[in-house]
Structure 1
Amino acid sequence: MGLIHIELFTTLDLVAQAPGGPDEDPEGFPFGGWQAPLLNETTGAQIAAAYEGTDALLLGRRTYDIFAAYWPKQEGGPFAGLFNSVPKYVASRGEPDLPWAGSTQLGPDLVAAVRGIRERHEHVKVVGSLDLVQTLLREKLFDRLDLWVHPIVLGVGKKVFDTGAVPTNVTLLEPPAAGPTGTVFLRYGIADGIPRTGDMSAPDRGLGNGG
């Protein structure tokens, strides 16, 4: 069985809307392109490494349209050849035109469709696609969650975890890595169970009154 990897760029308050450019999201979001001033070679190398071994993309409709308008026109760089060659699976409630070679619309049962993709591929990358991501998080239908957390707070915008998020344990798979502009790369894997609760004043916590 393959792995579903979610790749997201976020702010410190976990806004992940429209990092790439002012026109990326037409919903009136005032900070489109917030990531651009913070990009650096360290982050670029981390992103390139994260996509090594990718053999399929899983995209929401809006992200697909942005990618389909851009990547087929590109020839160089570490991503054009990869994105143009691997299968692209698109989650959409409508009947979209899918002109990008290798594109397939998923069926109405998204959960079953994603499970089928996992059976056919080793490393499936989910890029952007916040509505889709939130569904995968709610269904716990992911294996890896890569977050590039940028040192800014926006206060508005779509966040990684919405009000429908479910209690979930994750585990840090490697030490956090900070870049020169303060962006921190965090790689998590899904873990069993749900978060536990406890008492901070218990003796083994070292926070008792000492009396």
Structure 2
Amino acid sequence: MGLIDIELFATLDFVGQAPGGPDEDPVGFPFGGWQAPLVDEVTGEQISAAYAGTDALLLGRRTYDIFAGYWPHQEEGEIATLFNSIPKYVASRGKPELPWAGSNLLGPDLADAVREIRDRHERVKVVGSLDLVQTLLREKLFDRLDLWVHPVVLGVGKKVFDGGEVPTNLTLLAPPAAGPKGTVHLRYALADGTPRTGTMGEPDREDD
């Protein structure tokens, strides 16, 4: 069984909408492209390293349309070569045309379709796709969560955690890594169980 990795860029108030450019998702959102001024060499290297070994993309419809309008026209660069060569799986309630080579529309039972993708591939990346992410969070259908938190607060926009989250434990895979412009990279893995509770000041005791 392979791994499903969620890759997300967020503000300090966990807005994840349209980080890459003003035209990504402009309706009612005035801050499209908020990530661009905060990308530095360290963050760029972290993002490139995160895609190592990826052999499939899992995308929501809106993110797919953005990617399909850009990446097929890029002939140079490691990410362009990777994205254009691997299978793309698209979650959509409709029956859209999928012109990007290697694209596949998922069936109506999204949870089962994602499990089949996990069985078929070693490393599946979910990029952006905030509506899809809510389903993956709700069903705990992910194995890793890469989160880049940027030092801005927007106050409006679609959130990374926006109704799909359920009580979940995560394990930090590596110490947080900050770039010179203040973006912090957090890497988590899904863990067993649900969050425990306790009283501050009392010793931590494992359940019998």
TM-score (norm 2): 0.96
Task: State the SS of the aligned residue for 1:149.
Answer: strand
Separation in 2, partners of 1:22, 1:61: 18
- Other-structure match for 2:80: 80
Query: What are the superposed Cα offsets for residues 17-65 of structure 1, whole Å, 9 maximum, x if unpaired?
Result: 0000111003221111000000111000000000000000000000000
- Other-structure match for 2:59: 59
Max radius of gyration: which structure? 1
Task: State the SS of the aligned residue for 1:101.
Answer: coil
Task: State the SS of the aligned residue for 1:59.
Answer: strand
Note if contact 2:26-2:32 (Cα within 8 Å) is conserved in structure 1.
no
Q: By how many angstroms is 1:163 displaced?
A: 2.9
Separation in 2, partners of 1:65, 1:143: 25
- Other-structure match for 2:167: 167
Which residue identity does 2:103 align to in structure 1? S
Q: By how many angstroms is 1:204 displaced?
A: 6.4
* Structure 1, 106-115 or 192-201: larger mean CA deviation: 192-201
Q: CA RMSD in A?
A: 1.2
Do structure 1's residue 4 and structure 2's residue 7 form an aligned pair? no
Separation in 2, partners of 1:84, 1:203: 53
Task: State the SS of the aligned residue for 1:126.
Answer: strand
- Mark the runs of 5 or more structure 1 residues left unpaired by the alignment: 206-211
Q: By how many angstroms is 1:128 displaced?
A: 0.4
- Other-structure match for 1:91: 91
Task: State the SS of the aligned residue for 2:70.
Answer: helix
Separation in 1, partners of 2:69, 2:2: 28
Q: By how many angstroms is 1:78 displaced?
A: 1.6
Separation in 2, partners of 1:36, 1:109: 36
Residues 29-178 of structure 1 correspond to what in structure 2 (within 5 A)?
A: 29-178=29-178
Query: What are the superposed Cα offsets for residues 67-86 of structure 1, whole Å, 9 maximum, x if unpaired?
Result: 00110100111211100000
Separation in 2, partners of 1:32, 1:148: 17
Question: Which 4+ stretches in 1 moved above 3 angstroms?
Answer: none
State the identity as a percent.
80
Separation in 1, partners of 2:163, 2:28: 21
